[in-house]
């Protein structure tokens, strides 16, 4: 059943939802949460379809907020709210209200959504595209216990990850992180099968795919070893190679569906790593509404730190991680002593008051540093 409302109010929308449930003979509300989808007209259909499929596992009230662009100054000064209410077969296992906001009311979307939230039920806000830099400070995000973004839809995904790390608030999550759940599970299971120490890791995938960076940061944060990021033609993540004291461990997925796991001393095996659609990702995120501490730790590790660590290892010719700080410190001491000796030599007077640096004096200065 579908009810169209023009130039309406939140009260009229609530009334239409109640009348729609009574008309189809299901007056009881059996929904477990409110899912607020903030999108544009172009992406509304795909987002609503994915949320509808996910609602089979999580019956919910879906509120789709679409801010319409006003074309003239007169339209921008006027406000209007149009709504499309769907219940029954039109809305899957829950109910849906598509809200189109015009003019000044577009800046007050939270005041429109607030009366439509289910009482005493969790609220999840999802931005399929054009997510705010700080979701928790957004007026709609402030209403939610869980805030879902997707950096894959950003113009510069890697830079977006760095911005997310700076503004992270418990309850934030990202579908780019959800996409690597099977990879993390498979890699953790592979390491459980061996009693080895990981020395280095290589993560291979598409260039502008934030899931690759998140997986690399998770491995670097958890294992404390150098992680190198390499590029491939995709699709998505293609391989993870871990060098261990017992030999290499490789998880390779070349076709986007079936991967091959090889562990030194064991026969290779085929594992299912099918690329999942948006409905499955949203359904997974709705299963847990508490803060994801593992995601927070990986995100805060930092893309810059990941790149700096890989560059340092490459500059040292692949030296082990534990020897890199010591070698870098020793080189810094030697360089500082040499620079100071040269400076003192240049500052000497014509009468020879400055002592000419000798190998022994350089060694003494380096030791004193």
pLDDT tens track, the chain, 369 positions:
888 999 999 999 999 988 888 887 766 567 889 999 999 999 999 999 999 899 888 889 999 999 987 766 666 667 899 999 998 766 667 889 999 999 888 889 999 999 999 988 999 999 999 999 999 999 999 999 999 999 999 888 989 999 999 999 999 999 999 999 999 999 999 999 888 899 999 999 998 899 999 999 999 999 999 999 998 887 889 999 999 998 999 999 988 788 999 998 888 889 988 899 999 999 999 998 899 999 999 999 988 887 665 555 455 444 443 433 334 444 443 444 455 444 444 444 444 444 444 444 444 444 444
Strands (DSSP E) found in 150-197: 172-174
Question: Is the distance from CB of 35 to CB of 64 less than 8 angstroms?
Answer: no
Question: Is the distance from CB of 112 to CB of 101 less than 8 angstroms?
Answer: yes
Output the pLDDT for position 341: 47
Output the pLDDT for position 94: 80
Output the pLDDT for position 345: 47
Q: At what angle do helices 210-223 and 293-301 cross, to 10 degrees?
A: 100
Q: State residue 14 phi and psi, 5-degree precision.
A: -60, -40
Dihedral angle, C-alpha 36, 86, 115, 58, nearest 10 °: -50
Q: Indicate the helix (H) or strand (E) that contains 270.
A: strand 269-272
Question: Is the distance from CB of 206 to CB of 187 less than 8 angstroms?
Answer: no
Token pair, residue 237, equals 């993540």
Cα→Cα distances 247→123, 183, 197, 240, 368, Å: 47, 20, 10, 14, 43
Token pair, residue 144, equals 């939610």
CA distance 173 to 302: 16
Output the pLDDT for position 315: 52
């Amino acid at each position: 059943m579908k009810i169209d409302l023009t130039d309406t109010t939140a009260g009229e929308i609530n009334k239409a939802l109640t009348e729609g449930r009574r008309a189809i003979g299901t007056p009881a509300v059996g929904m477990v949460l409110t899912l607020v989808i903030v999108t544009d007209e172009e992406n509304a259909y795909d987002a609503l379809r994915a949320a509808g499929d996910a609602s089979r596992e999580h019956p919910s009230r879906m509120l789709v907020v679409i801010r319409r662009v006003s074309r003239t100054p007169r339209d921008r000064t006027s406000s209007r709210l149009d709504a499309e209410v769907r219940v029954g077969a039109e809305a899957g296992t829950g109910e849906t209200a598509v809200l189109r906001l015009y003019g000044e009311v577009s800046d007050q979307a939270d005041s429109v959504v607030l009366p439509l939230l289910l009482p005493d039920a969790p609220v999840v806000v999802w931005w399929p595209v054009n997510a705010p830099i700080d979701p928790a400070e957004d007026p709609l995000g402030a209403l939610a216990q869980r805030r879902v973004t997707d950096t894959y839809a950003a113009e510069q995904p890697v830079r977006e990850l760095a911005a997310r790390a700076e503004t992270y608030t418990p309850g934030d999550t990202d579908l780019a992180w959800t996409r690597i759940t099977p990879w993390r599970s498979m890699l953790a299971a592979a390491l459980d099968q061996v009693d080895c120490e990981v020395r280095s890791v290589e993560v291979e995938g598409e260039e502008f795919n934030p899931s690759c960076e998140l997986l690399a940061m998770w491995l670097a944060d958890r294992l404390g070893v150098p992680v190198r990021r390499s590029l491939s033609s995709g699709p998505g993540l293609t391989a993870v190679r871990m060098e261990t004291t017992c030999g290499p461990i490789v998880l390779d997925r070349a076709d986007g569906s079936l991967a091959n796991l090889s562990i030194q001393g064991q026969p290779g095996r085929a594992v299912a790593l099918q690329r999942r659609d948006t409905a499955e990702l949203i359904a997974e995120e709705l299963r847990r509404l508490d803060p994801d501490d593992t995601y927070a730790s990986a995100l805060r590790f930092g893309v810059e730190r990941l790149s700096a660590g890989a560059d340092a290892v490459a500059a040292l010719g692949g030296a082990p991680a534990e020897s890199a700080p010591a070698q870098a410190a020793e080189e810094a001491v030697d360089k500082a002593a040499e620079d100071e000796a040269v400076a003192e030599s240049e500052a000497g007077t014509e009468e020879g008051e400055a002592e000419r640096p000798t190998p022994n004096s350089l060694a003494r200065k380096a030791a004193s540093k």
